Amino acid sequence: MAILTGSNKIKTAVFISGTGSNLKSLIKFSNLKKSPITIKLIISDNPKAKGLIYGKIFKIKKKVFNFKNKSVAEKKILLEINKNKIKLICLAGFMKIISKNFIKNFKGKILNIHPSLLPKYKGLNTHNRAIINKEKFSGCTVHLVNSRLDSGKIILQKKVEIKKKDTSKRLAKKILAEEHKLYPKAILKIFNL
């Protein structure tokens, strides 16, 4: 296997809206020799996103875009993406739905991580719905992004058992810990590593 150095790694942007724990785990992964990616850009729709701190900590360029006018925001993001030669976008807790137009105009792969075993429980409030429905398992999914919500080709999933005592907060925590491992594995998989 060829060893990838900083300069020939796939330039990646991570989109976040909140805490950014997946962003942090992706940054750590990107710094490993075996990782095919280098994170060049952090994008957020939310100036208060806690995860923006990782831009500062790890010295990665971060940009916040106002989504009041989504098509304007997306055009600006595409410019930034092209300027930085980004070939992979990882959505990680990004709370805006990316438009068809954006997907068509970005010449690379877009991945998302979702806290359920898709196609079950698309959208929000997944853990609560899984518990109310008395599911025995939930989990997380990394998938390619297409123009329908949480519906692109599934790359990898991880099952997590729902125990009787699990509240949605507790389940979210258990699943999040798995997300941090699953996203890097899915990236290795899409690049056949």
Closest distance between ligand GRF and the C-beta of residue 31, in Å? 17
The residue within the footprint of ligand GRF, chosen from 10, 14, 15, 20 (CB under 6 A), is: 20
Of the listed pieces 39-47, 57-65, 111-119, 144-152, which binds ligand GRF according to CB under 6 A?
111-119
| Selected binder of ligand GRF within 36, 43, 114, 182 (CB under 6 A) | 114
For ligand GRF, the closer CB: 63 or 75: 63
Element (H, E) at 175: helix 168-190
Min dist CB 8 to ligand GRF, Å, is: 27
116 binds ligand GRF (CB under 6 A): no
* Strands ordered across the beta sheet of 10-16: 61-64, 37-44, 10-16, 88-91, 109-114, 137-144, 154-161
Residue 139 lies near ligand GRF (rule: CB under 6 A): no
Structure tokens at 176: 């999040």
Beta bridge partners of 12: 39, 88
Which of residues 41, 142, 179, 184 is near ligand GRF by CB under 6 A?
179
How many residues line the site for ligand GRF (CB under 6 A)? Answer: 14
CA count, 13 A, side-chain hemisphere, 48:
0
Whether a cis peptide bond, with omega within 30° of 0, leads into 119 is yes
Return all residues near 163 (Cβ < 8 A) that are at least 6 apart.
Answer: none
176 contacts ligand GRF (rule: CB under 6 A): yes
Q: Would you state the structure tokens that stand for residue 173, as one six-digit string? A: 């925590």
Contact status: 43 vs ligand GRF (CB under 6 A)? no
For position 51 contacting ligand GRF by CB under 6 A, the verdict is: yes
State how far the Cα of 47 lies from the Cα of 70, in Å rounded to an integer: 16
- 111 with 23: CB under 8 angstroms? no
**127: annotated active-site residue:** no
Residues whose CB is less than 8 angstroms from the CB of residue 4 and which lie 6 or more positions away in sequence, other chains included: 33, 35, 36
Annotated catalytic residue within 114, 127, 143, 180: 114
Please pick, from the candidates 36, 115, 152, 184, the single residue that binds ligand GRF as defined by CB under 6 A. Answer: 115
Interface residues toward ligand GRF, by CB under 6 A: 16, 18-22, 51, 92-93, 113-115, 176, 179
Residues with a known catalytic role: 114
